Structure 1
Amino acid sequence: MFSNLTPVVKNLLLANVLIFALSGLIRIDLVDIMGLRYVLADQFAPHQLITYMFMHGGWGHLFSNMFALFIFGPLLERFWGPKKFFLFYMITGIGAGILYGMVNFYEVRQVQTAAERYMESPNYESFTAFMAEHASGYYSSIYDFIDDYGNNQDNGRYIEQSKVYVSQIYQQISNVPMVGASGAVFGILMAFGLLFPNTELMLLIPPMPVKAKYLVTFYGLYELYSGVQRNPGDNVAHWAHLGGMLIAYILIRIWRNQRNTFY
C-alpha cells in the first residue's frame, strides 16, 4: 500500500506528522506561531497563510486530512507530475486561507461592532442579545450571572462585570487560530471529482459505492450549508474547505484551457 505513495504526497505526509509530533515535544506553542490568525490581530503574520496547513488540532484532525491526502493525492500527482501537484496543493491551501480570512474578518468585525456598541450603552437587554447572537455556546457557563444581572439591572457592579464578559468574548473570538490542511485536501477532493468523475469510491458508512462526482457535490453542499448555518460550538472552518474547492475548480478550468502548454 505505502509502496504506491508518490514523492510529494509522501513528503507532505511526513511533514505534517513530524510537525504535529514536534508540537507535543517542545514547550513552544506552534499553533500560536503557525495558526492563521484574524488579519487585524497583533499575532497575525503573512507566513501563517502557508504554515497553518502544516499544523493540526489533534490526532483525529491530522488523521482525517492525511488519510484523504493518502487516498486521493497519488493519482493526481501521477496525472499532473510532482511539480504541478505541489503547486496545486499550495495554491489551494493558500487560497482557502484567504477566503477563510475574508469571512473571518467580516464575522469578527460584526462582533467588534456589537461589543463597542454595548460598551457605550450597557444594559441587561443588550447583554442578553449580544450573548444570544455571538456567544450562545458561552451562555450556560455564566447563567447564574445573567440571572443575577436581570434582578439587579441598575447595579454598577453587574454592569461592569457584563462589560468584562463582552470584552472576553470578543477577545476569544478574534484570537482563535485556524489550523489544518483541510483547505488543500478539499481542493484535492474537488480535483479528483472533476478529473475522474465516474470513478467509484467505496464508502465506509454506509458500505456502498458512490461515484466521485456525487461525493464531491455532497461535500460541497454540506460545507456550504454548515458555513451559512454556523451552529454554536461548531469549530470547523467550513469556509476554508469551500475556499479550497473553489480555488481547485478555478485552477483546473484554467489548466484545461491551457492544455497544450500545461499537460
Structure 2
Amino acid sequence: MIPIKDKNPSRSFPVVNLSIIVICSILWLYEVKLDEESLNLFIHKFGLVPSELFSNFYQLFTHMFLHGSWLHIIGNMWFLWVFGDNVEDRLGKLRYLAFYIISGIGAGLIQTFVSFLTGSQDIPMVGASGAISGVLGAYLYLFPHARILALVPFFFFLTLVEIPAVFFIGMWIIIQIINGIITLPFAGMGGVAWFAHIGGFFVGYKLIKLFRRRAYNW
C-alpha cells in the first residue's frame, strides 16, 4: 500500500518536517556525486556501524539523514511528508524535532542489538526509516481514525482506496514484523533494517505519550 495523502489538515506550516526532508535530500544528492570509494568511506564514517558505535557514538544521529538508493530516499521522504506534518502540528516545532531524533536513535539502538545477535555488526545502516517509523507510531496513537488515501493492489492493478489510519499503519507494522522474522537468518547479508522500522515504531508509539502538547508550546 502506498499512501497518497491523509485527510487530516494541519493548522500550522510544518517547518521542521519540511526542513528534515530538505536536509536528507541535499545529503542524498551529495552522496550521488561521490565515486564508489568515497561513498563507501562516507557511509562507514556517518552511517551506523554497530561494531564501531562505542567509538563513534555520533553515528546514532548522522545515520538517519543518509540513504542508500533513490527508492530509499523517495519512499522515506514521501511517508514523512504524508504523516509528519500532523504530528508536528500536535507537538509543536521543537518538541517534534526532539521526538523525531529520539525515535531515530531508539530505532538505531534496537537495530544495533539485533545486528550483534545476528553477526551483522560490521554492516553500516543508513536511512531515516527508524525515525519515520516513530512518526507513524505517533500518528497511529494521535489520529487512529484519520482517513488515508492509498494505492492498494487489487489483483494485477492498483486502485485508490480511503483507509482508516489504524488499518493502514496497522498493516504496515505487521508487514515489517513478518519481514523482520523471515529475513532474520539472512541478516548477515545486509538488506533492509526491518528491526529499525519495528523498533522505531514502538519507540514512537510509547514516546508520544510523553511528548503530547500540554497547555504550552516550545
Does TM-score exceed 0.5, indicating one fold?
yes
Sequence identity (%): 30
1:13 to 21, 27, 34: 21
Q: Is the 8 A contact 1:37 1:48 kept in 2?
A: yes
Given the two structures, how large is their TM-score scaled by the length of structure 1?
0.68
Q: Is the 8 A contact 2:95 2:211 kept in 1?
A: no
Gap change, CA 1:78 and 1:42, over 3 Å in 2: closer
1:26: Cα distance to partner?
A: 3.8
Task: Please give the per-residue CA displacement for 1:94-128, whole angstroms capped at 9, x wherever unaligned.
Answer: 000001001111111xxxxxxxxxxxxxxxxxxxx
Given the two structures, how large is their TM-score scaled by the length of structure 2?
0.81
1:174: Cα distance to partner?
A: 4.1
Task: Please give the per-residue CA displacement for 1:4-32, whole angstroms capped at 9, x wherever unaligned.
Answer: 85211121111101111112224532212
Match of 2:145 in 1: 198
Query: In 2, Cα distance between the equivalents of 1:83 and 1:262?
Result: 9
1:79 to 90, 95, 98: 90
Q: How many residues align?
A: 195
- The 5 Å alignment of 1:140-155 reads none
Query: In 2, Cα distance between the equivalents of 1:223 and 1:97?
Result: 16
Higher mean displacement: 173-182 or 242-251 = 173-182
Structure 2: give runs of 5+ residues left out of the alignment.
6-11, 154-159
Match of 1:164 in 2: none
Structure 1: give runs of 5+ residues left out of the alignment.
109-172
Match of 1:137 in 2: none
Task: Please give the per-residue CA displacement for 1:73-93, whole angstroms capped at 9, x wherever unaligned.
Answer: 112111111101101100000
Query: In 2, Cα distance between the equivalents of 1:204 and 1:46?
Result: 39
Q: Is the 8 A contact 1:37 1:43 kept in 2?
A: no
Gap change, CA 1:209 and 1:235, over 3 Å in 2: same
1:37 aligns with 2:31: no
Q: Where is the strand percentage greater, Structure 1 or Structure 2?
A: 2
Q: Which has the larger radius of gyration?
A: 1
Q: Is the 8 A contact 1:255 1:262 kept in 2?
A: no
